[in-house]
Amino acid sequence: MSAAVPRVVVAAPSSNAGKTSVATGLVAALTTRGLAVSPHKVGPDYIDPGYTGLAAGRPGRNLDPVLVGEERVVPLFLHGARGADVAVVEGVMGLFDGATRPGLEPGFASTAHVARLLHAPVVLVVDASAQAQSVAALVHGFATYDPTVRLGGVVLNRVGSDRHEEILRDALGGSGVPVLGAVRRLAELGTPSRHLGLVPAAERSAEALATVGRLGGVVAGAVDLDAVLRLARTAPALDAVPWDPAAEVPRAEGRPRIAVAGGAAFTFGYAENTELLEAAGAEVVTVDPLRDEALPEGTAGLVVGGGFPEVHAADLSANESLRADIAALATRGGPVAAECAGLLYLARSLDGVPMCGVLATDAVMSDRLTLGYREAVALSGSVLAPAGTRVRGHEFHRTVATPAAGSAPAWRWADRQGPAHPEGFVSGGVHASYLHLNWAGSPALAERFVAACAVRSTDRAALPEGARHAHR
């Protein structure tokens, strides 16, 4: 099956060149034109897709060969791009910078790697703020370094003046790589950052919408959108079948209700995880721990993904009724899957304020950033995975939980700092860990979790009416 989706990959020579701003502005500008734009992000990052997704009005989806496997990248891309007129794929780090895990070849999971898999032309965003004629050498190097990656155009970013732009364009005149646009230095278009990068778009609400709108206006005025679209349309059809969550998991009986944490404190989550839960037969509902005082009626299981609970710790703690409801769900054996921020929320305390008290651990902010892919093995059987299950995940946080593991640890993995060690907690129906997982790479996780919720839902339905309310 061949599928033709016009597409470009937005890359850069290095991090901090402005590719997120340009990619977001490009998505916003094309959407304003009336096109259906499918936004994607190379790598595991949750925050950047929030901005491109906000600009497009549809989920920003990650394409990560480490987390989901090389063979799923194109099917997942086609799944996300269903019904789209054009797709914009934002890269990660520098164009050729990939994962550095042992056993992975150099450049694996880089922007170039994903561009090759997608047969997509690359638009290189160059920070020209401190360059003149040297920009030609830089672009020449990136255009010729790997002949399997097609550099289709350049967007000059942080250009200082008309004269600066003229010098840059003249220097690139003989490069064979067209200049698609030149964006001036505009400090007001910056997006606010904190300890893990950009502030998530979901937290900024109206402010984020305004930023996305301004980025769209700037890119529309500075970049030749018609040239970008022509370039996107040179991408060939992809000979693959779109990923289908319903083909990945069997459907459980009973349609158990699973609450997924959302709102400003829990903004990190892969769209495919929820789609797999639904495909496996669950009714997925959202609960906002900052606002909702109880779990939705009939909740059989709970998923608490990533985010920034440390920023909202006081307000999360103040919602005592929901914390008690979650603790009660865990006490009676209800399936709970928590990762990173979810682990912090289930802990006894976070930076000294009470959390849900489900886990016998306390968490605090630290100065050390823990970051990287992990090859993990399940040490304890749980509602997510049998013992011995192997997964690839990603760790990204500046908090420390003490102890780091319970008597029945969730996983064991090794990082660059030392030998393999146990991490996380399995207790009753609770599975909590710092490890972020894209379930598209391991669909059996969703299948097992929904099945466990279906059993709990059936058990609950068998209770007398009064007992059901007592066990809420």
Count of Cβ atoms closer than 10 Å to residue 255 Cβ = 16
Residue 209 has pLDDT above 60, yes or no: yes
Domain shared by 221 and 255, yes or no: no
CATH label of the domain that carries residue 91: 3.40.50.300
pLDDT at 468: 46
Report if pTM > 0.85: yes
Is the Cβ–Cβ distance between 227 and 153 less than 8 Å?
A: yes
Do residues 303 and 216 share a domain?
no
Q: How confident is the model at residue 190 (pLDDT cuts 50, 70, 90)?
A: low
Of the residues 191, 221, 239, which one is the last residue of a structural domain? 239
Task: Please count the CA atoms within 13 angstroms of the CA of 367 that sit on its side-chain side.
Answer: 0
Instruction: Say how many domains are in the chain.
Output: 2
d(CA 420, CA 233): 47
CB 449 within 8 A of CB 439: no
Mean pLDDT, rounded, of the chain: 92
Given a cut of 80, whether residue 258 has pLDDT beyond it is yes
Q: What is the pLDDT of residue 241?
A: 97
Instruction: Please report which residue ranges of 2-145 form alpha helices under DSSP H.
Output: 19-32, 47-56, 65-68, 73-80, 111-118, 134-144
Residue 205 has pLDDT above 50, yes or no: yes
Query: How much is the pLDDT for 197?
Result: 42
Q: Are residues 233 and 285 in the same domain?
A: no
Judgement on whether residues 225 and 315 belong to the same structural domain of the protein:
no
Give the SS3 label for residue 97.
coil
pLDDT at 298 over 80: yes
Give mean pLDDT, residues 270-299. Answer: 97
Query: What pLDDT sits at residue 471?
Result: 44
| Whether residue 255 sits in one domain with residue 222 | no
Cβ–Cβ under 8 Å, residues 151 and 142 = yes
DSSP 146-192: -TTS-EEEEEEEEE--HHHHHHHHHHTTTSSS-EEEEEE--GGG---
Question: 92: which 2 tokens?
Answer: 């990660």
Decide if pLDDT at 189 tops 60. Answer: no
Q: What is the amino acid identity at position 284?
A: V
Residue 467 has pLDDT above 50, yes or no: no
The amino acid that residue 121 corresponds to is P
* 184 and 259 co-located in one domain: no
Q: From 172, 204, 239, give the residue that closes a domain.
A: 239
Task: Indicate if 197 and 288 belong to the same structural domain.
Answer: no
What is the per-residue pLDDT across 331-387, written as a single tens digit (0 to 9) for each?
A: 999 999 999 999 999 999 999 999 999 999 999 999 888 889 999 999 999 999 999
Distance (Å, whole) CA 270 – CA 310: 21
Q: Are residues 85 and 10 in the same domain?
A: yes
The CATH number assigned to the domain holding 457 equals 3.40.50.880
Q: Quick one: 100 and 212 in the same domain?
A: yes
Instruction: Tell me the residue range of the domain where 405 lies.
Output: 245-470
Angle, nearest 10°, between helix axes 47-56 and 19-32? 20
**How confident is the model over 62-88, as pLDDT tens digits?**
999 999 999 999 999 999 999 999 999
Q: Are 328 and 293 in contact (CB under 8 A)?
A: no
pLDDT confidence tier of residue 202, bands split at 50, 70 and 90: low
Do 211 and 294 belong together in one domain?
no
Structure-model confidence comparison of residues 160 and 196, the more confident one: 160
Catalytically active residues, by annotation = 340
Domain end, chosen from 193, 208, 239, is at 239
* Residue 470: per-residue pLDDT: 44
Question: Is 258 found in the same domain as 185?
Answer: no
Q: Are residues 19 and 100 in the same domain?
A: yes
